[in-house]
């Protein structure tokens, strides 16, 4: 069995320190008040960044940038535009590693449309890439997210020479948020993507994940399952709520039967109203005594009729709607 390490894994790779050559001042450089310093101009910054890209291309170093655009080519293809320190990096859609579950009814057009939709939801996210080609004259760069993700999988999911795997079940690791929907948060965990359902984000009732999570966030998750067939076939499951902890059981002791408490409706499903009370308790109501229909995000007065200790929820009814969300 692979050994497990104890330290928290972060998204930054450990790299060897690079020796930065001493900069020589030229006679034409800007003379500063301190005399021995040099002011950085936009041109010098761009040159330094370009030199960094050249080194990364030569050493096959994984870089990270922001997915800042999606463009259609005249040939009909799609490219993702990633910005690394203001430098434009182009990644073809085929190199973005947007994996979809296909069935017999799937056709090429459907797959491309779905990939484009997912890519659109990822705008603003931080992604890894490996440079595949570079043109010094036009300062054009073509890269691959797929190659970077596969390399990260080898580093973090497969055992090293000592039999140690860095991402393993039970471990808390850092993950990137690459897309957010109402009921799910799409994450990238060291080269493997996983959508965390709302129920695994928090022990609190969560009606809309977009209110708490945003594309580009970095969050802590606990790995609950890892399945490895090969470096190209790795699946992972994770949750956030076990990292944050559960205070609902403790707060439930504050609730008293027949007590009235203010809360906010987080969701309504098949006649059941889910409420987050201001005292930090999850509550369920099956009826409302107000003449108005309750809606999501309404502030309500909730009366406790019983305590469900097994599920850590207060059960009761809505006595009135205090404030409707319009």
Last residue of a domain, one of 151, 178, 199: 151
3-state secondary structure of 114: helix
Residue showing tokens 């309750």: 294
Do 226 and 256 have their domain in common?
Answer: no
Do 188 and 125 have their domain in common?
Answer: no
DSSP 8-state class, residue 53: H
Last residue of a domain, one of 244, 275, 292: 244
Residue-level pLDDT at 296: 92
Q: Does 48 map to a domain?
A: yes
Residue 82 to residue 90: CA distance in whole angstroms: 6
Q: Does 14 map to a domain?
A: no
Is the Cβ–Cβ distance between 226 and 167 less than 8 Å? yes
**Residue 113 structure tokens:** 């449309």
- Can you say how many angstroms the Cα of residue 106 is from the centroid of all Cα atoms in its chain? 28
Last residue of a domain, one of 211, 227, 244: 244
Do 48 and 140 have their domain in common?
Answer: yes
Other C-beta atoms closer than 10 Å to the C-beta of 145 total: 24
Residue-level pLDDT at 14: 43
Q: Does 28 map to a domain?
A: no
- Please name the helix (run of DSSP H) or strand (run of DSSP E) that holds residue 131, with its range, or none: strand 126-135
Among residues 94, 70, 71, 82, the alpha carbon closest in space to that of 127 is found at: 82
Q: Does 4 map to a domain?
A: no
Q: Concatenated DSSP letters for 273-293?
A: EEEEETTTEEEEEEEE-SSSP
**Residue 240 structure tokens:** 């956030």
3-state secondary structure of 199: helix
Is the Cβ–Cβ distance between 62 and 148 less than 8 Å? yes
What does pTM read for this prediction?
0.79
Residue 136 to residue 288: CA distance in whole angstroms: 68
Is the Cβ–Cβ distance between 144 and 62 less than 8 Å? no
The number of domains in the chain is 3
Domain boundaries, position 48: 38-151
Burial environment of residue 158 by CB neighbours within 10 A (0 to 12, 13 to 18, 19 or more): middle
**Residue 231 structure tokens:** 């470096």
CATH number for the domain including 83?
Answer: 2.40.50.140
Q: Does 94 map to a domain?
A: yes
Is the Cβ–Cβ distance between 188 and 138 less than 8 Å? no
Dihedral sign computed on CA atoms, order 263, 264, 265, 267: negative
Is the Cβ–Cβ distance between 128 and 153 less than 8 Å? no
Residue-level pLDDT at 156: 96
Do 227 and 128 have their domain in common?
Answer: no
**Residue 79 structure tokens:** 């490219």
Q: Does 178 map to a domain?
A: yes
DSSP 8-state class, residue 96: S
pLDDT tens digits, the chain, 326 residues: what are they?
555 544 566 666 544 444 444 555 455 566 667 656 667 788 888 899 999 999 999 999 999 999 999 999 988 889 999 999 999 999 999 999 997 765 545 566 677 888 899 999 999 999 999 999 999 999 999 999 999 999 999 999 999 989 999 999 999 999 999 999 999 999 999 999 999 999 999 988 888 899 999 999 999 999 999 999 999 999 999 999 999 888 877 889 889 999 999 999 999 999 999 999 999 999 999 999 999 999 999 999 999 999 998 889 999 999 999 999 87
Residue 238 to residue 59: CA distance in whole angstroms: 32
**Residue 247 structure tokens:** 């205070």
Q: What b-and-e string marks burial along 5-19, b requiring 16 or more CB atoms within 10 Å of the CB?
A: eeeebebeeeeeeee
């Amino acid at each position: 069995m692979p050994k497990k390490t104890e330290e928290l894994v972060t998204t930054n790779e450990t790299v060897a320190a690079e020796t930065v050559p001493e900069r020589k001042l030229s006679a034409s450089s800007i003379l500063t008040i301190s005399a021995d310093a040099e002011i950085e101009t936009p041109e010098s910054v761009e040159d330094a960044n370009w030199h960094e890209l050249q080194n990364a291309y030569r050493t096959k170093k994984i870089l990270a940038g922001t997915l800042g655009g999606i463009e259609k080519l005249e040939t009909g293809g799609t490219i993702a535009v990633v910005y690394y320190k203001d430098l434009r990096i182009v990644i073809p859609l085929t190199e973005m590693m947007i994996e979809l579950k296909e069935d017999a009814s799937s056709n090429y057009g459907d797959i491309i449309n779905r990939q484009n939709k997912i890519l659109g939801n990822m705008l603003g996210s931080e992604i890894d890439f490996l440079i595949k080609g570079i043109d010094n004259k036009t300062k054009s760069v073509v890269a691959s997210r797929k190659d970077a993700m596969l390399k990260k999988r080898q580093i973090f999911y497969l055992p090293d020479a000592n039999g140690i795997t860095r991402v393993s079940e039970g471990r808390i690791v850092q993950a990137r948020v690459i897309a957010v929907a109402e009921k799910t948060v799409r994450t990238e965990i060291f080269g493997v993507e996983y959508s965390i359902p709302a129920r695994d984000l928090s022990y609190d009732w969560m009606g809309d994940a977009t209110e708490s999570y945003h594309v580009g966030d970095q969050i802590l998750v606990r790995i609950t399952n890892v399945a490895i067939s090969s470096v190209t076939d790795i699946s992972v499951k994770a949750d956030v709520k076990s990292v944050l902890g559960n205070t609902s059981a403790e707060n439930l002791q504050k609730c008293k039967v027949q007590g009235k408490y203010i809360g906010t409706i987080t969701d309504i499903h098949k006649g059941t109203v889910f409420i987050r009370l201001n005292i930090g308790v999850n509550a369920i109501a099956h009826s409302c005594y107000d003449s108005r229909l309750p809606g999501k995000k309404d502030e309500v007065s909730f009366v406790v009729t019983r305590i469900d200790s097994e599920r850590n929820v207060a059960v009761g009814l809505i006595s009135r709607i205090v404030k409707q969300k319009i």
